[in-house]
Amino acid sequence: MPLLGGISVILLWEVKLRTIFLVCGLAICLFLLTPVSASSLAQELELDSLIAEALGANPDLSAAKLRYESFEAKVPQAGSWPDPMLKTVFSNVPTDSWAMDRTPMSGIELMFTQKIPFPGKLGLKKNTTRSLAQKAKKEYESAEDFVISELKQNYYRLYLLQKSIEITEKNKRLLQDFAQIAATRYSVGNGIQQDVLKAQVEVSRMIDKLISLEEMRKVTQAKINILLDRNPQDHLGEPKELTFRGLDYSEEELQNLAVQTNPALAGMEFLVNASHLAYRLARREYWPDFTFSLSYRRREEVIMDPVKGTDFFSASAGINIPLYFWSKQKKKVQEKALSLESSRQRYEGRKNNLKFSVSRLFYSLNKYKEEIELYQTAILPQARGSLESAKSGYQVGKVDFLTLLFNQVTLYNYEIAYYQALSSYFRTIAKLEEMVGRSLLLKGE
């Protein structure tokens, strides 16, 4: 009996193990055979990560940074003295013998010459170059803002296209269901063929819309990839869901912020300063530069030489004379004065255009904000209610098929328009951020 009990236990465990293996195998097969939706596999795009990648990889930004660094390297050059000159002179060598010990006048002379600009000139040159370097730095910062703005705008555009594709796919399926219902009603004599044809036309229109949306999505993805210095065809995930939020800035506050922090305008200000320094330098050109020379002459001792071949030392100093100042220095001063006034007027023009651009974007932002609120609180709820009412009426024969179809297409258009307004709202904020040179939303939004 104990032996039979032990065998029974072993058989029972064997059955249990087989059952466990069978269940695990079926679970694995079901997991492998179950289709996984594309949305579950889609990688979510993080805007902050894209921006960080673009700032490190975008070739246009790299070029702008290198240009700024090249200007920085010019600053110490502008403040340096001209290179000195060192020359050797063989003087008074008789041509009949080419001997250096035939006459007391013969000798080998070593001469060192240094030109020294009038005090203040080098400082003005250095400061002028430094201002131009700062202008190049602001141009680099402006290029950064442009790349970030372009990336954000294309990110929000990609979000709109993704939502439009989802809504169009959903409406295509609904219209296909409508077409099937209309065909069934027509087959039993409760409908008309026109309803079937109209539904099929709308389905075809949705398919055509999907083709266009998919093409625009690929173009937008390619643009984002180019900003990231990737291959245009590289895969991108789906943008995160956007949540509407207002901006707590008035029109005047945005204008003042743009004037204070816009890097392109700041670059123009450095250009004005460089022009002013160049004008001051031109006025200094009336003053002469100095040239100093030192020379040492080695001589051989010769007969009848009163100093017995003693070497000679010489020193000299000279200045250049701005003799033709009326056609040179004076005209240069006039040139720099006109250039200074031109840069000042360009700065004022840029500032006025910047204020206008900020105002125009601010008005657009308010328009999109009102549209979004109207779609959220009135238009979309009303359109959905109207569609549900039409569905109920159609089921009991109180509403014709064309009315049902019209309400479905109307809701589709309103949903697309809502996401267009939402995307345009965030794209406008991105443009405003480029204008003011700083972020206006919290990180990640």
Residue after which a domain boundary falls, among 301, 321, 341: 321
User: Residues 250, 150: one domain?
Assistant: yes
User: Residues 422, 311: one domain?
Assistant: no
User: Residues 276, 258: one domain?
Assistant: yes
Instruction: List, edge to edge, every strand of the sheet that includes 85-91.
Output: 85-91, 107-116, 290-298, 312-319
User: Residues 111, 179: one domain?
Assistant: no
What does the pLDDT look like over 212-267, one tens digit per residue?
A: 999 999 999 999 999 999 999 998 888 999 988 888 899 999 999 999 999 999 99
User: Residues 94, 212: one domain?
Assistant: no
Q: What's residue 301's pLDDT? A: 66
User: Residues 108, 64: one domain?
Assistant: no
Most confident of 96-100, 177-181, 328-332: 328-332
User: Residues 333, 414: one domain?
Assistant: yes
Q: Is residue 156 part of a domain?
A: yes
Phi and psi, residue 108, nearest 5°: -110, 120
Confidence class for position 7, pLDDT limits 50, 70, 90: very low
Residue after which a domain boundary falls, among 321, 343, 375: 321
Q: Is residue 404 part of a domain?
A: yes
Mean pLDDT calculated for residue range 126-145: 95
Whole-structure pTM over 0.75, yes or no?
yes
What does the pLDDT look like over 114-125, one tens digit per residue?
A: 999 999 999 999
Q: Is residue 227 part of a domain?
A: yes
What CATH number corresponds to the domain at position 374? Answer: 1.20.1600.10
Q: Please report, for residues 156, 171, 209, the alpha-carbon distance to residue 205 in angstroms, rounded to integers and kept in the order given.
A: 25, 11, 6
User: Residues 105, 151: one domain?
Assistant: no
User: Residues 105, 170: one domain?
Assistant: no
Q: Is residue 8 part of a domain?
A: no
User: Residues 305, 253: one domain?
Assistant: no
User: Residues 110, 195: one domain?
Assistant: no
Q: Is residue 274 part of a domain?
A: yes
Query: Residues in the chain, how many?
Result: 445
Q: What is the CA radius of gyration of the chain?
A: 41
Q: What's residue 246's pLDDT? A: 84
Structural domain range at position 313:
84-116+289-321
Q: Please report, for residues 187, 204, 236, 339, 407, the alpha-carbon distance to residue 193 in angstroms, rounded to integers and kept in the order given.
A: 9, 17, 44, 77, 20
Q: Is residue 96 part of a domain?
A: yes
User: Residues 310, 367: one domain?
Assistant: no
Q: Which two tokens stand for residue 19?
A: 């059952």
Q: Is residue 341 part of a domain?
A: yes
Q: Is residue 229 part of a domain?
A: yes
Query: What's the domain count of the chain?
Result: 2
Q: Looking at per-residue confidence, does 415 or 196 come out higher? A: 415
Q: Looking at per-residue confidence, does 397 or 32 come out higher? A: 397
